[in-house]
Chains A and B, each alone.
Chain A
């Protein structure tokens, strides 16, 4: 799994950090998404899929 997060689309709601705190964080200056681990281990894939599904701005895309 590879994660791409679009920082232009992101609205800083923090849903992804709630769903997958080991994979997503927010920029100190404006709360915009930061991907901590763009190729997370399989154990985190469900959490990442949930984060992508609940992202209100559709800013998170996943590829294989």
Chain B
């Protein structure tokens, strides 16, 4: 391949593309237009390099389901959204940035902890935590920031319990997670935050040698197959992925329901809809909003276009989740829709390991919030909500609510 082919044409869509003002739940118009007009299309990245955007549901499933599209960020042509993003994806490699068989070997050390039966058994504990947070939030108050007082602490408490990380350190790891996930962070700051988190988790892993517990970190230490540094890197992934995603889904889901009062009313009238409603919210909001990156290791035809070996691909799962062929009327939130075929957790062997936990947390969070706060409302004008367009995981920076 020549250098010219790696550089995008001047009229190629620049990504990440901006959302339309006033449409905070919808994908960027440029990407949505591509999904309709040229579903497999060329785009330009921050450094001027080119990649493919794959936008339709069927094509996204094809790419993410085919391991000839590699998840290894060290391969030439792998698409990065920012310099900081390149730092995250290439530094301290975890199994999400490896291919099989190494990926499968490492992932299988964790799959038992997130399996449906085990996570379902955690429901009473997650419910208790959710109720305690609401008790504290509403104690003598009629308003709060949902992010600080509920959406963020709930999954943070749960992942700390699972990993065996002391929750009192949440300020430390939440601040570093924020730096890692900000698209505005300088590469240097990302590197520092990354090192600090791994250092913190290395010391934690070492401490489990003398004081073992039932957490995942301690059990990985006891297993004896990984070095402390490897355990720390895996722990960092679980810690960051385990709280940021669910926290943002919780707050953004609440806002989406408040913005769609008919849907909120349906859910209030029939709480048994919550399971399907969470799938629909995952589909509709798709907080992994800048796409799932891969690089082709062979020439492969996708949607009629040939993607050459060495070319980067971003699977825009937010447009795939609005694909009219799979989700008719998909630009509307409908809590009664069967949305189970969404790809909000990705697809293929890298599909989210923690999805059973995310589901339990989100079902409990949404059900508990609307049951305990019948007068729930937004406490600022909708137009004033600050969105996380600048973050790898979409959501709201804060959500002032009243009840």
Given the complex, which residues of A lie within 8 Å of B211, measured CB to CB?
Answer: none
Bound: A50/B356 CA distance, A: 17
Within 8 A of B (CB), among A1-56: 9, 11-15, 17-19, 21, 25-32, 50, 53-54, 56
Within 8 A of A (CB), among B204-219: none
Residue in B115, B345, B348, B359 whose CB lies within 8 Å of A12: B115
Given the complex, which residues of A lie within 8 Å of B111, measured CB to CB?
Answer: 11-12, 26, 30-32
Residue in B112, B341, B351 whose CB lies within 8 Å of A13: B351
Residue in A21, A27, A28, A56 whose CB lies within 8 Å of B349: A56
Residue in A13, A53, A58 whose CB lies within 8 Å of B355: A13
Q: Using known A-B contacts A19-B340, A56-B348, determine if residue A31 contacts B112 with beta carbons closer than 8 Å.
A: yes
In contact, A32 and B353 (Cβ under 8 angstroms): no
A57 within 8 A of B: yes
Given the complex, which residues of B lie within 8 Å of A28, measured CB to CB?
Answer: 112
In contact, A29 and B112 (Cβ under 8 angstroms): yes
In contact, A11 and B346 (Cβ under 8 angstroms): no
Q: Using known A-B contacts A18-B116, A18-B356, A26-B115, determine if residue A12 contacts B341 with beta carbons closer than 8 Å.
A: no
Given the complex, which residues of B lie within 8 Å of A26, measured CB to CB?
Answer: 111-112, 115-117
In contact, B117 and A18 (Cβ under 8 angstroms): no
Within 8 A of A (CB), among B69-95: none
Q: How many residues of B contact A (CB 8 A)?
A: 26
From B359, which residue of chain A is reached at the shortest CB distance?
Answer: A18
Within 8 A of A (CB), among B336-376: 340-341, 345-353, 355-356, 359
Given the complex, which residues of B lie within 8 Å of A13, measured CB to CB?
Answer: 345, 351-353, 355
Give the residue among A9, A12, A13, A26 with the most B Cβ atoms within 10 A.
Answer: A13
Bound: A63/B108 CA distance, A: 28
In contact, B353 and A12 (Cβ under 8 angstroms): yes
Given the complex, which residues of B lie within 8 Å of A9, measured CB to CB?
Answer: 349
Given the complex, which residues of A lie within 8 Å of B348, measured CB to CB?
Answer: 11, 56-57
Show 15 A/B contacts (Cβ-Cβ < 8 Å), sorted by A: A11-B350, A12-B353, A14-B355, A14-B356, A15-B355, A17-B115, A17-B117, A26-B111, A26-B115, A27-B112, A30-B108, A30-B111, A53-B341, A56-B349, A57-B351
